[in-house]
Structure 1
Amino acid sequence: MSIDSSVQKSKSPMKLVLEPIKGRLIIASLLAAIGIMLTLVPLVGIAYIAQVILGGLSTEQIWQVVTWSLVSLFAGLIINTFAEYYVHCADNRLTHHLRLSAIERLSLVPLGWFTGRASGDVKQAMQDDIGALHDLTAHFFTTIARAVAVVVFSAIYLFAMSWQLALVTCVPFIAFFWLYSKAFKAGGEFMGDFIGGMARIDNAVVEFVSGIPVVKTFGVSGKSHSSYRDAVDAFAVAFRNLIGSTTKSVSAANAIMNPVTVLGFILTFGMIFIALGWIQPMDIVPFALIAPGICAPMLMISFITHGLRNATGSAERLNNLLHTPILEQPASLVDHPKNSIVKFENVDYGYDSEHLVVKNFDLTLKPGTVTAIVGASGAGKSTIARLLLRFFDPVQGKITLGDVDLKAFPSQALYQRIGFVLQEVRLINASVRENIALASPNATQDEVEAAAKAANIHHRIMSLPKGYDSIVGEDAILSGGEQQRVSIARAILLDPSILVLDEATAAADADNEAVIQEALSRFAVGRTLLVIAHRLDTIMHADHIVVMDEGQIVEQGTHVQLLERQGRYASLWQQGKYGQSDEEASEVNHV
């Protein structure tokens, strides 16, 4: 879905999301309104017969009224049925459109967009929020159209019969809405406490459940229960305040909007008007038949509009998703890179406009060399890796590959040249073979197996129930380290000239780490490597080591040179902040 930004600002999220089926919703609502009004014709016919029966209405006239009433009734039912079918087709069309538009949009957004969001947020927008719109598109508009049509049709008819009694009939309905507005206004004062109380209970439950092992170990269950108990007690108070402020008005409103109450009100004032000579006794009949029937539509209008709040929230989240900024890229690569030299030139980047996490970053990765980036947590190491992979673009400066700006590369062309193995492994719900061949779908079975063998994962795959045809997450339950080896096999099959390793073994146990390091060592030979390290001993033999702090390069050189300077790197090395001893250095040191 592509909508001009000026149009987007002038329209509400609800209007933007419903734009593709706007015309269909209008037609369905009009049909629903016409259909329900036709079904009211028999009531008018009955009232008419009752009014004039004392005046000597002929049998022929009675049959004419009955015939037209029945025709109107069945025509109304048919039109209503078609309106329901039509609006559900429109709902299906919108659901189809939104899901395809969301997938299309997500395929164009920067990969870094996903790292800043939980998968549940995307799932809520694509699945839950689209599902939540069903009640709005398939039921809300036609229901409102019917309710409003009943009220308007009835009001016009009753005012035509007797404007004096019609005015009196309006009193219960006006009182109903006044009492409801009073209740919502009173409840608004306590709604914040009510919502906050629910949130506190949710947080308390999470804290209690996650802390159960510690509670049982140290025997402090009383303290662990107290926060949950306090949250429940506070919510109970907020709930009582909310209910107490609204119950009286809501109960009175519902009592007034009762057909019996309305009928009694009409009969009482009808008798007064008859005594005053303003109307004839038979004039009460239409009001007694029609007015009580307005109660249900009026209640429906008040109740169904409450659901608009949830639908509005869903529409807003969907609208934001469908207008997520995309990563602009060309259709094809115009200038081919002359070599495999990677350059960061005066690069700045921030996840928001006020806080830069990378500042004035200059670095050159020479072909066939290993460059390692180290630094404390939050120094900006992983951001550099993701900038090279174009998860997002710098806010200033540029990154080039062979003197060609990364922005000139289509994603497929870029990832044919730059492979990566990140700490966060992403496998899709498909066969192991498809996961390995994700970037090379035309790879043969022999090529896939060769990549798996090079990644030290072939034997584990062959032990699965269906081998390479096993489905990840179903009959292929892989540990974190095994998933990491599948991702390495994927990179090996791609055979890129540049490889980015971002703490690739951080989530692996000792056994898996050794196997992963061995696979990476073989694969890295002859390639340009950018290694993001959390342990200094694993990169001590790198050709070039870059030390980052607060988004900037504070030192760079070889392991020996940096130790001789007695600076930041030497301090980290001496503190042992990154882990193991020299004797435990991994095989990757010899790359």
Structure 2
Amino acid sequence: MSAVHPFLAHAPGELVSAFVVPLVSLAYLLGVDWRMTLITLVPVALALAPVPLMATPARLREQREVDAAKGRITGSVIEFVQGISVVKAYGGAERAHHRFLAAKDAFVATFDRWVRGLSRPAAAVQLVLSPPFVLLVVLTGGAVLVTHGALPPADLLPFLLLGLGLTAPVAALGHGFDDLSAAGRAVGRIRDVLSVPPLPEPGHPVPVRGGRVELRGVHFGYDGGHEVLRGVDLVLEPGTVTALVGPSGSGKSTLARLLPRFSDPTRGAVLLGGADLRRVAGPELYRTVSCVFQDVRLLRASLADNIALAVPRADHAAVVRAARLAGVHDRILRLPRGYASVVGEDAGLSGGEAQRIALARALLADTPVLVLDEATSFADPETERAVRRALAAREGERTVLVIAHRRETVADADVAVLLVDGVIAEQGRPAELLARGGAFARFWEAHGPAPADGASTGRGVRP
């Protein structure tokens, strides 16, 4: 967008202002003597001659390579800055600096090659448009015409005064061409983003009846590659909490993101209230399903507005009630302006506190289905207990799918589902799965010590 901006904001006005005066001057000079006018336009014609050499496929390809190299050097800087704490903690500052230097050297080499290819035609254009060259052409041509009596000496003066102005459009054209070329390449990249097809909206949407979620033979793979989910069959009943567990890369987050229809299954179907998600209208879907993800995003707005994002007309009492359920009300009151504190200005929140805000947002939305994708990964035990209390607040009505690594959360669930390599290995009540001594029990034992007595709220099993 920054590459498109100069062309849209500045180029039209600059080109108009650069052309109006020269065109008026050209009309006047044609009235004085058409032969002398043609002589005066010789530098313009010579300047336009090398332009095709500056727009060959090779030059355009080099320009795209310069853009790509510039993107890599920018990316290396952003990556270094965003990850500076991790880089320093693990002594990787020198390696990160070397990556930046490598990107810089690649950019310099690419830019130098591009400039060298343009230097000769660009220098020729600058030479023929320079005032000394223009004056030399006008004086030489005028002297010949005056000597042969074809032009009165006094008529040479307007060409000397206005001839220099006729070269201005060519210089403006050069800058405008650069802006146009950069904008054209940028528009191409923007089109690449906009051409990604959105998930199709149903032509005749069907209503959602209840919060029952069912996955029938779900397969899913990214970009037609390796299948992350392979034939998943799962039912989430209203009023239950289903804990989805499994090793990293087993497909847990992918499965969770199918419920709010961030993607469609490659094969199979996801049903919500008896309706295939592909046949549910977007507004109704997001009135039914809300999500809290590990990577919390808060707007640069007040905490009250962040919590009320899904329900903009919610009153303050409802916002406070949601914050209390999420266990973040007291923390908000300690901020300088309470609920009016703005994220990024006077509301500095830890990772766990930001997750509580996101949880309060989902609880205020009060949707029949709630998806928690590692939503307490940064949380301390107090936050974890707050999440469990909030989940129990609407017990008997809400369908909850939670991806969690803490044993307490899994133990409190009504159903535990073990996902391994995109396939459900076991599912059932946590106590029954532990008693069975199968894959779930082995996974349970392999992931840390059992919680102390009293850690569980008693919904499911306390190991």
TM-score range, shorter chain: 0.7 to 0.9
Take 1:371 and 1:293, find their aligned partners in 2: how far apart are those partners?
77
Question: SS of the residue aligned with 1:255?
Answer: helix
Take 1:287 and 1:239, find their aligned partners in 2: how far apart are those partners?
40
State the shift of 1:257 in Å. 0.6
The one-letter code matched in structure 1 to 2:355 is: Q
Take 2:100 and 2:152, find their aligned partners in 1: how far apart are those partners?
67
State the shift of 1:502 in Å. 1.5
The one-letter code matched in structure 2 to 1:264 is: L
Q: Could you say which residue in structure 1 is the equivalent of 2:169?
A: 297
Q: Could you say which residue in structure 2 is the equivalent of 1:250?
A: 122
Q: Deviations over 1:196-234 (max 9, x none)?
A: 654565466567667877887898987776555565556
Q: Could you say which residue in structure 1 is the equivalent of 2:249?
A: 378
- Give yes or no for the alignment of 1:501 onto 2:372: yes
Where in structure 2 are the equivalents of 1:130-141 lying within 5 Å? 132-133=4-5, 135-141=6-12
State the shift of 1:333 in Å. 7.5
CA 1:275 to 1:189, structure 2 compared with 1: closer, same or farther past 3 Å?
Answer: farther
Larger mean CA deviation between 383-392 and 464-473 belongs to: 464-473
Take 2:72 and 2:205, find their aligned partners in 1: how far apart are those partners?
53
State the shift of 1:514 in Å. 4.3
CA 1:377 to 1:230, structure 2 compared with 1: closer, same or farther past 3 Å?
Answer: closer
State the shift of 1:181 in Å. 5.0
CA 1:360 to 1:203, structure 2 compared with 1: closer, same or farther past 3 Å?
Answer: same
* Cα contact 1:535–1:580 (8 A) shared by 2: no
Larger mean CA deviation between 161-170 and 209-218 belongs to: 209-218
* Cα contact 2:76–2:100 (8 A) shared by 1: yes
Q: Deviations over 1:383-430 (max 9, x none)?
A: 222221223333443322332333454444434443433223233333
The one-letter code matched in structure 1 to 2:450 is: S
- Give yes or no for the alignment of 1:363 onto 2:243: no
Where in structure 2 are the equivalents of 1:243-282 lying within 5 Å? 243-276=115-148, 278-282=150-154
TM-score normalized with structure 2 length: 0.79
Question: SS of the residue aligned with 1:364?
Answer: strand
The one-letter code matched in structure 1 to 2:427 is: Q
Where in structure 2 are the equivalents of 1:187-586 lying within 5 Å? 198=70, 201-202=73-74, 205=77, 228=100, 232=104, 236=108, 240-276=112-148, 278-316=150-188, 325-326=197-198, 335=207, 337=209, 339-354=210-225, 356-522=227-393, 524=395, 527-535=398-406, 538-540=409-411, 542-559=413-430, 562=433, 568-576=439-447, 579-583=448-452
Question: SS of the residue aligned with 1:428?
Answer: coil
* Cα contact 1:538–1:586 (8 A) shared by 2: no
CA 1:431 to 1:190, structure 2 compared with 1: closer, same or farther past 3 Å?
Answer: closer
Q: Could you say which residue in structure 2 is the equivalent of 1:113?
A: none
Take 1:193 and 1:336, find their aligned partners in 2: how far apart are those partners?
50
Q: Could you say which residue in structure 2 is the equivalent of 1:587?
A: 456
Task: Give the superposed CA RMSD.
Answer: 4.1
The one-letter code matched in structure 1 to 2:301 is: A
CA 1:208 to 1:366, structure 2 compared with 1: closer, same or farther past 3 Å?
Answer: closer
Q: Deviations over 1:362-391 (max 9, x none)?
A: 221123333222223232212222221223
State the shift of 1:518 in Å. 4.5
Structure with the larger RCO, 1 or 2 (CA within 8 Å, 6+ apart)? 2
The one-letter code matched in structure 1 to 2:350 is: S
Larger mean CA deviation between 187-196 and 457-466 belongs to: 187-196
Take 1:222 and 1:458, find their aligned partners in 2: how far apart are those partners?
43
Take 1:442 and 1:176, find their aligned partners in 2: how far apart are those partners?
63
CA 1:447 to 1:201, structure 2 compared with 1: closer, same or farther past 3 Å?
Answer: closer
* Cα contact 2:48–2:170 (8 A) shared by 1: no
State the shift of 1:268 in Å. 1.0
State the shift of 1:453 in Å. 2.4
Take 2:95 and 2:386, find their aligned partners in 1: how far apart are those partners?
45
Q: Structure 1: which 5+ residue stretches go unaligned? A: 1-124
Question: SS of the residue aligned with 1:388?
Answer: coil
Take 2:299 and 2:89, find their aligned partners in 1: how far apart are those partners?
38
CA 1:202 to 1:425, structure 2 compared with 1: closer, same or farther past 3 Å?
Answer: closer
Q: Deviations over 1:151-200 (max 9, x none)?
A: 55555665565554444333322222334554676966865675565456
Aligned partner of 1:171 among 42, 47, 51: 42
Alignment length (residue pairs): 459
CA 1:309 to 1:580, structure 2 compared with 1: closer, same or farther past 3 Å?
Answer: farther
The one-letter code matched in structure 1 to 2:363 is: I
Question: SS of the residue aligned with 1:377?
Answer: coil
Larger mean CA deviation between 145-154 and 380-389 belongs to: 145-154
Take 1:452 and 1:213, find their aligned partners in 2: how far apart are those partners?
31
TM-score normalized with structure 1 length: 0.64
The one-letter code matched in structure 2 to 1:590 is: R
Q: Could you say which residue in structure 2 is the equivalent of 1:119?
A: none
State the shift of 1:346 in Å. 2.9
State the shift of 1:275 in Å. 3.6
- More helix as a share of residues: 1
* Cα contact 1:454–1:523 (8 A) shared by 2: no
Question: SS of the residue aligned with 1:530?
Answer: strand
Q: Percent identity?
A: 38
State the shift of 1:506 in Å. 0.9
Take 2:89 and 2:303, find their aligned partners in 1: how far apart are those partners?
41
CA 1:585 to 1:290, structure 2 compared with 1: closer, same or farther past 3 Å?
Answer: farther
Question: SS of the residue aligned with 1:379?
Answer: coil
The one-letter code matched in structure 2 to 1:450 is: R
* Cα contact 2:411–2:456 (8 A) shared by 1: no
State the shift of 1:499 in Å. 2.7
Q: Deviations over 1:525-580 (max 9, x none)?
A: 6643222233566424544333334433344344466567776545534543xx45
